[in-house]
Structure 1
Amino acid sequence: MYESDDPRSRLASAKSGAGPAANAAAAFGNSTYARYYASAPQEELANSRNWYTRGQNFVVCYSEVDDGAVFERREQVDEYVLLLPEGGPAATVEANGERVEVAPYSITMVPPGDSRIMVHGAGSIVRLITSRSQDILAKAQNADSYSGPHPHVPEFEPWPEPADGYRIRSYSLDVPEEEGRFGKIFRCTTFMVNVFPSQGPRDVTRLSPHHHDDFEQCSLALDGFYMHHLRWPWTANQHDWREDEHELCLAPSVCVIPPRVIHTSAPSHAEANVLVDIFSPPREDFSDMPGWVLNADDYPRK
């Protein structure tokens, strides 16, 4: 599935199973391609323009903001994530009596309850919120793709709480690359986020087609453009068969990939491509790899 020098070739999940076609017995669910650069926002406020795209367990909230934009959550049911891209705005995050100044190029875990994000500067920000927040879920532009339980995604269960309790936890993304580590992975109780460094075009003779048995992958392009290749395995039921998908997505955009669908994404801009992979809840196989999850000491393993 992976080339021998790909860090993911050492994952336990890369060696298990006979492949998606041997296990698939029902429909897979739908892929989503949300091209924010080519669509109107779902919500326009005084200082922000907001796009919402959901998966089975999560909503990606992508916002183009002006200085002074404010995002509040009241009685938030669970932990959520604030991602500030490189070269973008800073923010002040308040939650449960805490106040933290958050720099650009960072990822911040915001605790349940009441919280407030105040943006300093113009640019883009990303919030990741689980589908347990019905008010956010209702804004998603692809809600029709998720009319009920997913055939291959288990019911969402958060991971264990930190031993010292919930609080604002912010991490710089200015982390040096390390041989054998796959991207820059952070997790909390509700999400795992992998931020890849900016890169040039991918060698198309060294792609990495693979699949996931029981979770979706969400790929958020923040710079450059990507070719997303999806192949739907055959099942005994020919009505489940689908044509391959080869979709060009510029930034900003989101691709949501269903479980059991073979996929690979190729960065294609000549100079700079930035992708963020999002999983909800966190992946167990990535968490099993020593040193891969950069904030593992803060969040217990399920």
Structure 2
Amino acid sequence: MAYDKGDLRSTLPSDAATPPTPEQFSGSEHVQFRDFPPADKTGDVVTWYARGQNFVIGYSDLDGTATFARSAQPDEYVVLLADDGLTATVQAPGEEVSASGQTMIVVPPGDSTVTVTGHGRVLRLLTTRSADIADLAANAASYIEPHENIPPLQPWPEPVGGYRVRTYDLTVPALPNPPFRLYRCTTFMVNFIDPKQGPRDPSKLSPHKHDDFEQCSIVLAGEYIHHIRWPWTTNKANWREDEHQRVVAPSVTVIPPPSLHTSEAVSPGSNHLIDVFCPPRADFSAMQGWVFNAADYPAQEGR
């Protein structure tokens, strides 16, 4: 992996063994929401969905009030308030919790209602166990057959003190280098990075790969080029060309293993990209102090 020596990711543990290489790799997914009709447009909210192998991302533009209800939700899911002008109230059996501003909300399994008021962007992260939501994804047809080389989703251990609504401030100071802000729950890890002004220095990119999990990169503002390079297999007919996919916010890109990849901000204005992983990343979780809410969510045993 090509990290600058001052980047803390250069100290990440490496896998002891490399998983077997399939004869054919599943491709990346690039969903630019403005290219598709919204899956839902009611009153004050417009919503699109995109998915990967294990997860679904719901992206909503809100100007007013929206209510997101789940009945018999099979597992934890995440609500991200991406803007300061938003306030949310979460109702679950036996509790009601409010949050405002840029916040990550973890909603427990079962019945719940999330009411969001204000002007801004709301993201919901659900696993594909929520089949009703997965079917709404703009790229649902890409997953009629499971993608190769991605293990089945195994939720991480239950939170300390049991399931309940939990909220986390997305404006607390980030790690020094890279400036990550990492939170996890039983189903997701979120890396909420701050917006950057102007293009990324092309001499300081960070190409890297993952052996057995997808990366979901969500562009909330600006423009990016996702550079992706694929390994060669023994069958030349299955080789893939390099990708240099330009995307404009709002968009979701799913980068499957084991492709070499890096993302380059190119807009002269504000560029904002956040990363999501389902389930949480074991390598980031192994780094002392990296996951800000590790005390609430134990790491998976043996990872």
TM-score grouping bracket, smaller chain normalisation: over 0.9
Greater shift in the superposed pair: 30-39 or 110-119: 30-39
CA distance in 1 between partners of 2:147 and 2:35 (Å):
28
Gaps spanning 5+ residues in structure 2: where?
A: none
Alignment map for 1:1-302 (pairs within 5 Å):
1=1, 2-13=3-14, 23-180=20-177, 182-200=179-197, 201-302=199-300
Distance in 2 (alpha carbons) for counterparts of 1:179 and 1:64 = 31
8 Å contact 2:83–2:120 — kept in the other structure?
Answer: no
TM-score under structure 1 length normalisation = 0.94
Which moves more between the two structures, 149-158 or 186-195? Answer: 149-158
Unaligned runs of 5+ residues in structure 1 are: none
Separation in 2, partners of 1:238, 1:97? 58
For each residue in 1:257-284, what CA deviation from the matched residue of structure 2 results, as whole angstroms up to 9, or x when unmatched? 0110111001122242111100000000
Q: CA deviation at 1:203?
A: 0.9
One-letter code of the match for 1:45?
A: T
Query: 2:67, 2:114 within 8 Å by CA — same for their partners in 1?
Result: yes
Instruction: Decide whether the 8 Å contact of 2:78 with 2:124 is kept in 1.
Output: yes
Q: Deviations over 1:35-56 (max 9, x none)?
A: 1133321222233211110100
1:297 Cα offset (Å): 0.3
Q: Which moved more, 1:253-262 or 1:231-240?
A: 231-240
Post-superposition offset of 1:17? 5.9
Separation in 1, partners of 2:85, 2:272: 14
Cα deviation code 1:139-185 (max 9, x no counterpart): 11111211233311111110000120000000111111332455100
- Distance in 1, Cα, partners of 2:246 & 2:160: 43
Q: Deviations over 1:95-121 (max 9, x none)?
A: 122111111211010000011111111
Alpha-carbon distance in structure 2 between the residues aligned to 1:236 and 1:277: 32
What secondary structure is seen at the aligned counterpart in 2 of 1:122?
strand
Contact 2:223–2:249 (8 Å) recurs in 1: yes
Deviation at 1:59, TM superposition (A): 0.1
Count of residue correspondences: 298
**What SS does structure 1 have at the residue aligned with 2:270?**
coil
Contact 2:218-2:253 within 8 A present in 1 as well: yes
Question: Helix, strand or coil for the counterpart of 2:141?
Answer: helix
Aligned residues of 1:25 and 1:236 also touching (Cα < 8 A): no
Q: What letter corresponds to residue 267 of structure 1 in structure 2?
A: A
Deviation for aligned residue 1:66 = 2.8
| CA displacement at 1:16 relative to structure 2 | 5.6
CA distance in 1, matches of 2:120, 2:4: 37
Q: CA RMSD, aligned part only?
A: 1.6
How far is 1:94 from its partner? 1.0
Could you list the structure 1 runs, at least 4 aligned residues long, displaced by more than 6 angstroms after superposition. Answer: none
Verify the 8 A CA contact 2:85 2:119 in the aligned structure 1: yes
Find the residue that maps to 2:69 and give its secondary structure. Answer: strand
Q: Distance in 1 between matches of 2:63 and 2:181?
A: 28
One-letter amino acid of the counterpart of residue 281, structure 2: R
Q: Give the Cα separation in 1 of the matches to 2:88 and 2:35.
A: 27
Alpha-carbon deviations, 1:49-105, whole Å to 9, x = none? 111101000000001123121110000000000001133421111112211111121
Letter in 2 for 1:165: G
TM, length-normalised to structure 2: 0.94
Change (3 A) 1:182 1:12: farther
Would you say the 8 A contact 2:83–2:121 is kept in 1? no
Preserved contact between residue 79 and residue 104 of structure 2 (Cα < 8 Å): yes
